[in-house]
Amino acid sequence: MKQRLIFLGPPGAGKGTQAQKLCFNYNLSHFSTGDLLRAEVATGSSLGQEVAAVMNSGELVSDKLVLSIVETRLESNSDGWLLDGFPRNVPQAEALEALLQKICQPIEAVLLFELNDEILIERLLSRGRADDNEEVIRNRLKVYREQTAPLIDYYNAHGLLQSVPGDGEVADISLRIENCLG
Ligand code: AP5
Ligand code: MG
C-alpha cells in the first residue's frame, strides 16, 4: 500500500476523521498541521496566542511557521506518513517537494476529498470548534478556493492526484480510500 500520503480538501470534508483511522490501521504517522497548531495554542504561549488569532479568523498561519513544524517531524520520521491539511498553498507544496527530495521520501499519492459546501457547513456547525461559526467557515472556504484549490492542478500535473467522494458513511469512505491506495 502507498504510505507517503497527502489528504487535500475543503474544511469539514473528513480529512481528519479518515486520516486517524487509516494511520491507526496501517501504522502511519499522522501529521495534521491544524492539530499541531491547536496544540501550540493550548500551551498558552505568546506564539500560541498569535496563532489562535489567525486560526479564529479562518486565514492561513504563516508558511514559515507551518513549514518548520512539518520539517522537523518529517526529517525524524522513517516510516510512512500522512499529511493532513498541509500543504495549503503552492509555496508550501514547493517547499515540501524540496524537503522530500532532500530526504528521499517522495509523495506516493494525494487524495482529494470532494463534498459540496452545504454538507461541509452543516458538518462544521454541528461540531463547534473555535473556528466553526458561520462567518469563519465561509472565510475558510474562500481561503480554500483561492489558496489551496490551485494544488489540485499542481498535483494532477505531477500525476499524483486521486479524487475521493466525501459523502456517505465514514466506513464507506474508508473503503474508497483503501481502494485508491491498494
Ligand atoms: P485544519 O485544522 O486543517 O481545519 P480545516 O482544513 O478547516 O478542516 P477541518 O479539520 O475542519 O476538516 P476535516 O476535513 O479534517 O474534517 P473532519 O474529519 O474534522 O485548519 C484549521 C486552521 O489552522 C486553518 O484555518 C489555518 O488557520 C490553520 N492551518 C492549518 N494548516 C495550515 C497550513 N498548512 N498552513 C497555514 N495555516 C494552516 O470532519 C469535520 C466534521 O464532520 C467532524 O465533526 C466529523 O466528525 C464530521 N464527519 C466526518 N466525516 C463524516 C461523515 N462521513 N459523515 C458525517 N459526518 C462526518
Ligand atoms: Mg482536520
CA 170 to ligand 2 center in whole angstroms: 14
pLDDT band at 77; cut points 50, 70, 90 = confident
Q: At what angle do helices 63-75 and 33-43 cross, to 10 degrees?
A: 110
79 vs 145 pLDDT, higher one:
145
- Sorted by where each starts, the structural domains of the chain and their CATH numbers stand as 4-181 (3.40.50.300)
Nearest-ligand number for the alpha carbon of 18: 1
Question: What would the pLDDT profile of 156-173 be if each residue is shown by its tens digit?
Answer: 999 999 999 999 999 999
Burial class (CB in 10 A: 0-12, 13-18, 19+), 27: exposed
pLDDT of amino acid 91: 98
Question: What would the pLDDT profile of 34-76 be if each residue is shown by its tens digit?
Answer: 999 999 999 999 999 999 999 999 999 999 999 999 999 999 8
Question: What would the pLDDT profile of 122-148 be if each residue is shown by its tens digit?
Answer: 999 999 999 999 999 999 999 999 999
**Lookup result for grid cell 474544511:** 11
pLDDT band at 101; cut points 50, 70, 90 = very high
Written as nine digits, the cell of 43 is 500551551
Please state, for a pLDDT cut of 90, what percent of the chain lies above it.
97
- Work out which ligand 1 atom sits closest to the CA atom of 123: 42
The finding on whether 33 has its CB within 6 A of some atom of ligand 1 is: yes
Any bridge partners for residue 114, and if so which? 165
CA 27 to ligand 2 center in whole angstroms: 19
| Beta carbons of 48 and 42 less than 8 angstroms apart | yes
Looking at residue 79, what DSSP letter applies?
S
pLDDT band at 78; cut points 50, 70, 90 = confident
Task: Kindly tell me if the per-residue pLDDT of 180 is higher than 80.
Answer: yes
CA 66 to ligand 1 center in whole angstroms: 16
Q: Which helix (H) or strand (E) holds 131?
A: none
The finding on whether 10 has its CB within 6 A of some atom of ligand 1 is: no
* pTM exceeds 0.95, yes or no: yes
Cα three-residue angle 43-45-50, rounded to 5 degrees: 115
pLDDT of amino acid 155: 98
The finding on whether 30 has its CB within 6 A of some atom of ligand 1 is: no
The finding on whether 127 has its CB within 6 A of some atom of ligand 1 is: yes
Question: What would the pLDDT profile of 102-114 be if each residue is shown by its tens digit?
Answer: 999 999 999 999 9
Question: What would the pLDDT profile of 23-43 be if each residue is shown by its tens digit?
Answer: 999 999 999 999 999 999 999
Nearest CA to ligand 1 atom 40: 12
Task: Kindly tell me if the per-residue pLDDT of 17 is higher than 90.
Answer: yes
The finding on whether 34 has its CB within 6 A of some atom of ligand 1 is: yes
